[in-house]
Amino acid sequence: MSVWAILVAAGRGERLGLGRPKAFANLGDEPLLAEPLRRLEASPWVDGIVLVAPPGWEEPAILLAEEEGCGKVHA
């Protein structure tokens, strides 16, 4: 049996007024999405990660996952 995590990072972030989705808002020196990606990637119980990004932000989400070394991600 394999276990897949679904990471929903599809919030538009309109109320934040940043002009980009919430998942790409910085917390300190990195996007909010970076930490959950790293934790799911490191989990021995998770075989794959489905990353759900807002329309038009699929490519930046994939690039961020690659930068974080997440080989389990499928967008």
Number of domains in the chain: 1
Using the predicted structure, report yes or no on whether residue 75 has a pLDDT greater than 70. no
Q: Model confidence over 10-69: pLDDT tens digits?
A: 988 888 888 899 999 999 999 999 999 999 999 999 999 999 999 999 999 999 999 999
Helix (H) or strand (E) holding 8: strand 4-8
Amino acid present at 33: L
Please state, in angstroms and as integers, the Cα–Cα distance from residue 49 to each residue in 12, 18, 22, 62, following that order: 21, 26, 19, 11
> What range defines the domain where residue 39 resides?
4-74
pTM, full prediction: 0.88
What six digits make up the tokens of 53? 């990004």
